[in-house]
Amino acid sequence: MNDLTSISSTALYTAFVVYLIATIFFGATIRDKRTADMTKKGFAGTIAISLTIIGFLAQLVYFFTRWAAGGHAPVSNMFEFVTFLGMSLVLAFIIIYFIYRLSILGLFALPISMLIIAYASMFPSEISPLVPSLQSHWLFIHVITVSLSQGVLAVSFVAGLIYLIKQIDQTIFNKKTLWLEIILYSLIVALGFIITTTTFNAMDYNASFEVPKDGRVVQMDYHLPAIAGPKGGELLTEDKMSPLFNAPDWMQGKDAPKKLNTLIWSFLTGSILYGLIRLVLRKRIGAWVQPFLKNVKPHLVDEIMYRSVAIGFPLFTLGGLIFAAIWAQIAWDRFWGWDPKEVWALITWFFYAAFLHLRLSRGWHGEKSAWLAVIGFAIIMFNIIVVNLILAGLHSYA
Amino acid sequence: MDKIKCECGHVNPEGTVLCESCGKPIEENQHIDGNDKTKLLNMRYDGTARRSQTYNRTIIDKTWNFFSSVKVGVMLIIIALIASGLGTIFPQEMYIPPEAENRDPAVFYEDWYGLPGKIYYQLGLYDLYSSWWYMILIALIGVSLVICSIDRFVPLYRALKIQQPKRHNTFLSRQRLFSKTDVVSDEHKKAFVSNLKKQRYKIVEKDGNILAEKNRFSRWGPYVNHIGLIIILIAALLRMTPFLYLDEYVWVREGEQKLIPGTDGEYYIENKRFLLELYDENDERFKAAMERKGQLVHKNYQTDAIIYKAKDNQIVGQEPELEKVKESSIRMNEPLKFDGYTLYQSGYQENEFANMTFKVYEKADADQKALGELTIDLTSPEKTYDLDNGIKVQVTQYYPDYELEDGEPRSVSKFPRNPAFVFNVFPPNSDQGEVSFVGIGKNIDATGENKYKLGILDFEMRYASGITVRRDYTLPLFIVGAAIFMIGVVQGMYWHHRRIWINPKEQGILLAAHTNKNWFGLKKDIEKAIEGTDIQMVIDQEEVEKEA
Ligand code: HEM
């Protein structure tokens, strides 16, 4: 590791911690009486947004020092790309904050951003060399623009989430409260993934299997205890847990059993965590958060949600479709090739186009829009996680 | 025609909901925009008469109305979205991995994915994006957005052109943002207007009625972007014609010169050298990443190429005379362009031999001392080779890609991937040849009585470079379409059409405002403009309504 690289990772770590502190201050704004009028900022709010900006600057330091160290913009593998997404969300939040001055947004946007950055750090973080197809300025222009647009669109998710928590009647249990709870639960599962992976990484857990594949025997290393083992695999490492069952046959992809195993662990940890939270709160998480949003004006939140889609959509078109097409034209001789990543960019685009058109009719403002904003973000995350790691086309980063 | 005359004197076309001039609701048409059920007026298209809302008699009317519904448009988009998603469950036909044993779709999908794969294949999802129904779906979206846009653009344009600063009281009080101030001095009114001017509002005044308007152009954004989309769809259609779109592939070996397919025999490419570079495994920056991966990482694929053009004075049947046009290297991400064609570095193969060097020695010689050497160029072996010491080697058979099938030697391809020879070796001053068979790992003496033997001394491998040839006259059209789309979408999204009406009412004024999006911004504008005056801030009637 040289100096730049270590400065870079320290800066990223700093940013993360500063975001955490900023979140606490955003939390304090709820009690700040003056924020009853949400557009006037109080003392806590000022500190919170200042910290957010400091954190963002630290993350910029991470970005540019890593760029200098590697010789290319750090958006070329999963770690770098997802980290950048977290950073884009913070930037988008800062911009929206200065338009609408709504502190509560920070209380939700920053934790989600931290979740994204922590998720990123689960991927190998070494600076990797660029294979020939990635050696293009258009790659960086494309990825950076898409990421920024996704950051802005993520703000609409944040606003949508706030709207739903605030507006959905929590006195009864029905489909709406259930779905809202599922959204919150999935955020906790993401946390479960991070906790599990970090814990076993710290323990240096390793269980090797010998697995028959295409007539040869290959070695597969598990870094989490194997609940779902590779089919026909034989555990080599002593004293390690042997699998409870084997991954099914049809899971053919590279390292599929390992990915399944990780998924099971994430849900396991996430569910335990969720269960504990419920035990403490004695009510749905949504119901517990709702009173804190007493002062929030739903109209304003709805407008922020719509506005961020309005800002994000053109950016997404530019980065996700047009710049992507330019790069694909130069690198692969066709600007569009229907590979899964491209198709999912198109799906995202269709989805937000549908969102905008639905907003033209009155009945779709407010709650319905909020659900759509959540679904939109789910599609974005699907494109980043599932498509990259599982459907994996040309863009496969991992 | 049932034109409707409003009390303000303006004559409106049939189907108008709000008078184009003063905005007074036209009673019998209120159901069209749903105004009869709400306190606030639906301002989406300023209450203009739209064809789709007015006529519904003929089949043309009905088709028009069907496609001009945004609901239908959204449904089409959602269907396209879901369909597109289905196509990503398993790889599309063109992405069937090369390592599959059988790449025939009829076999592959079932082989790899079992029953779901079989269903996927049978439903035709393996080639979804060029299926007729997918294309029809996209075409329907195109039709819908054209009709929808025309249906709204024309009347909206008219209404915004005709609108007057004087508005009917009902129109004003049923706007989302509205306030009434009982007493306002002229001075304050002036200050208000001049503040609005400072915020770049255009002021139109008539008999003391004021309309302040800004960013009307942003209303045209959607129509502009839809035009962009249509251009892109047309470009996609044109791209299916071979005249406008050329897509060829050619393999050129190092040292080889080849006709570039698709150029009507006009252009030739010579591959001087293919270069495959790897990252230095000791590179400080990337060491850690490469160690974790445990393999070397490719850094560069490059073909050093020369492009030739055949001279005009060609004689049929003769080798054309060539003229050098360009010499350059083709790299991934750095294609080579000439005369409208683009060449891309798309692939490479390393499994071919360029030449082989043999030595001739006496079979009985334990040291295998070379009596002579010969080097055979494997793309064009000569018939005989005369060695220095008088030995003559004749090539009687050449199998570039040797395989033994049913005891019969043959060549499975014409590429030198596994070369083998039948040689006839003539000792100095002799016509009596000895036959032997030599290949990689094989050296057979046909009679068992040969005196001489040939052994492989050395060989050179060479790369074949895979080059895509493209000429795409539709690209400019795509670029224009995309640019227009971007302009339209930015125009509509980053600017917002805002209107503020100030009409005198007795001693005071009625103040109302409308925007197509970003109400928060409009409110801020008004707040700033009335600062220091007695004018009442507008009330957001929708918010009040909701909270009540
Ligand atoms: C993938 C295809 C489409 C895209 C990307 C697209 C894009 C857009 C965008 C960005 C807007 C601006 C929305 C806003 O300002 O909030 C818009 C408006 C609109 N679009 Fe589309 N559109 C598409 C297809 C359609 C179709 C099929 C229809 C027909 C039903 C349609 C009808 C409209 C209408 C009526 C408007 C509103 C115009 C106005 O506000 O005056 N669009 N479109």
Ligand 1, atom 43: closest residue by C-alpha: B222
Residue B112 Cα, gap to closest chain A Cα (Å): 8
| CB-based contact B430:B461 (threshold 8 Å) | no
For chain A, say whether B534 makes contact (Cβ under 8 Å).
no
- In whole angstroms, give the CA distance from residue B476 to residue B469: 18
Q: Which of B74, B113, B518 sits opposite A357 (nearest CB)?
A: B74
- Contact state of B518 with A303 under an 8 Å Cβ cutoff: yes
| CB-based contact B6:B29 (threshold 8 Å) | no
Q: How many residues are there in chain A? A: 398
Position A145 scores a pLDDT of 96
A84: nearest Cα among A50, A123, A46, A45:
A123
Position A111 scores a pLDDT of 94
- Contact state of A133 with B116 under an 8 Å Cβ cutoff: no
Ligand 1, atom 12: closest residue by C-alpha: B222
| Torsion angle defined by CA atoms of residues B533, B535, B539 and B540, in that order, rounded to the nearest 10 degrees | -70
- In whole angstroms, give the CA distance from residue B2 to residue B10: 14
Q: Which of B84, B112, B493 sits opposite A346 (nearest CB)?
A: B84
| CB-based contact A331:A136 (threshold 8 Å) | yes
Task: Give the pairing of strands A228-229 and A245-246.
Answer: parallel
Ligand 1, atom 8: closest residue by C-alpha: B222
- Contact state of A333 with B116 under an 8 Å Cβ cutoff: no
User: What letter would DSSP give residue B327?
Assistant: E
- At residue A40, the 3 state secondary structure works out as coil
Q: Which of B289, B331, B478 sits opposite A128 (nearest CB)?
A: B289
- At residue B123, the 3 state secondary structure works out as coil
Q: Which two tokens stand for residue A168?
A: 């959905």
- Contact state of B74 with A299 under an 8 Å Cβ cutoff: no
| CB-based contact B330:B336 (threshold 8 Å) | yes
For chain B, say whether A311 makes contact (Cβ under 8 Å).
yes
Position A392 scores a pLDDT of 56
Q: Which two tokens stand for residue B445?
A: 């003496």
Residue type, B482: A
String of DSSP letters for B130-188: GSHHHHHHHHHHHHHHHHHHHHHHHHHHHHHHH--S---HHHHHTSSEEEEES---HHH
CA A341, distance to chain mean position in Å, is 17
A153: nearest Cα among A38, A31, A25, A308:
A308
Q: Determine the residue among A333, A344, A369, A397 to mutate to test chain B binding: the one whose Cβ has the most chain B Cβ atoms within 10 Å.
A: A333
| C-alpha B291 – ligand 1 centre gap (Å) | 51
Q: Which two tokens stand for residue A245?
A: 């069952």
- Contact state of A338 with B286 under an 8 Å Cβ cutoff: no
For chain B, say whether A135 makes contact (Cβ under 8 Å).
yes
| CB-based contact A51:A22 (threshold 8 Å) | yes
pTM for this entry: 0.88
Q: How many residues are there in chain B? A: 548
Q: How far is CA B90 from CA A393, B95, B105, in A?
A: 11, 9, 12
Residue type, B209: N
- Taking the CB of residue B531, how many other CB atoms lie within 10 A of it? 12
- At residue B28, the 3 state secondary structure works out as helix
- In whole angstroms, give the CA distance from residue A145 to residue A324: 10
| CB-based contact B529:B240 (threshold 8 Å) | no
Residue A280 Cα, gap to closest chain B Cα (Å): 33
CA B50, distance to chain mean position in Å, is 35
For chain A, say whether B285 makes contact (Cβ under 8 Å).
yes
- In whole angstroms, give the CA distance from residue A269 to residue A265: 6
Q: How many CA atoms lie within 13 A of A212 on its CB side?
A: 4
A104: nearest Cα among A291, A344, A317, A366:
A291
| CB-based contact A322:B505 (threshold 8 Å) | no
| Torsion angle defined by CA atoms of residues A356, A359, A364 and A365, in that order, rounded to the nearest 10 degrees | 110
For chain B, say whether A256 makes contact (Cβ under 8 Å).
no
Position B546 scores a pLDDT of 67
Report the sign of the C-alpha dihedral through residues B393, B395, B398, B404, in that order: negative
Q: Which residues pair with B386 in a beta bridge?
A: B392
- In whole angstroms, give the CA distance from residue A70 to residue B284: 10
- Contact state of A314 with B494 under an 8 Å Cβ cutoff: yes
Q: Which residues line ligand 1 (CB under 6 A)?
A: A 350, 353, 356-357, 359-360; B 70, 72-73, 76-77, 141, 144-145, 148, 152, 222, 225-226, 229, 489, 492
- Contact state of A354 with B77 under an 8 Å Cβ cutoff: yes
- Taking the CB of residue B69, how many other CB atoms lie within 10 A of it? 16
Q: Is B116 left (phi over 0), alpha (psi -120 to 50) or beta?
A: alpha
Position B69 scores a pLDDT of 86
Position A34 scores a pLDDT of 47
String of DSSP letters for A72-123: S-S-SSHHHHHHHHHHHHHHHHHHHHHHH--THHHHHHHHHHHHHHHHHTTS
- Taking the CB of residue B389, how many other CB atoms lie within 10 A of it? 11
Position B249 scores a pLDDT of 87
Position A66 scores a pLDDT of 92
Position A217 scores a pLDDT of 78
How many CB pairs (< 8 A) connect A and B? 148
Mean pLDDT, 10 residues at a time, chain A of 398 residues: 82 94 89 52 84 96 92 89 95 94 92 93 84 85 95 96 92 90 93 90 84 76 85 77 75 73 91 94 90 87 94 96 92 85 94 94 86 96 82 46
- In whole angstroms, give the CA distance from residue B87 to residue B120: 9
Going residue by residue through chain B, which has 548 residues, state the pLDDT in tens, using 9 for 90 and above: 578 888 888 888 888 999 988 889 988 888 888 888 788 888 888 888 888 877 777 888 888 888 888 899 999 999 999 999 998 888 888 888 777 777 788 888 888 888 888 899 999 898 889 888 999 999 999 999 999 999 899 889 988 988 889 999 889 999 999 999 988 888 899 999 999 999 999 999 988 899 999 999 999 999 999 999 999 999 988 888 777 888 888 888 888 888 888 888 888 998 888 888 888 878 878 888 887 777 778 888 888 989 998 887 666 667 778 888 888 889 888 889 888 888 988 888 877 888 899 988 888 888 888 888 889 988 888 888 888 888 889 998 899 888 888 878 888 888 888 899 999 988 888 888 888 899 888 888 877 788 888 888 888 888 888 888 888 888 999 999 999 999 999 999 999 999 999 999 888 899 999 998 889 999 999 999 998 888 989 999 887 766 65
| CB-based contact B309:B267 (threshold 8 Å) | yes
User: What letter would DSSP give residue B415?
Assistant: S
Q: Is B407 left (phi over 0), alpha (psi -120 to 50) or beta?
A: left
Ligand 1, atom 42: closest residue by C-alpha: B145
Ligand 1, atom 19: closest residue by C-alpha: B222
String of DSSP letters for B392-405: EEEEEEEETBEEEE
| C-alpha B50 – ligand 1 centre gap (Å) | 16
Q: Which two tokens stand for residue B537?
A: 């801030």
Ligand 1, atom 1: closest residue by C-alpha: A350
Residue A174 Cα, gap to closest chain B Cα (Å): 23
| CB-based contact B141:A350 (threshold 8 Å) | no
- Taking the CA of residue B71 as reference, the ligand 1 atom at the shortest distance is 30
B265: nearest Cα among B325, B231, B316:
B316
B515: nearest Cα among B502, B528, B496:
B496
Burial B211-223 (b: 16+ CB within 10 A, else e): bbbbbeebbbbbb
Q: Which two tokens stand for residue A345?
A: 């960019």
User: What letter would DSSP give residue B318?
Assistant: S
| CB-based contact B461:B354 (threshold 8 Å) | yes
- In whole angstroms, give the CA distance from residue A50 to residue A57: 11
The values of phi and psi at residue B491, to 5°, are -55, -40
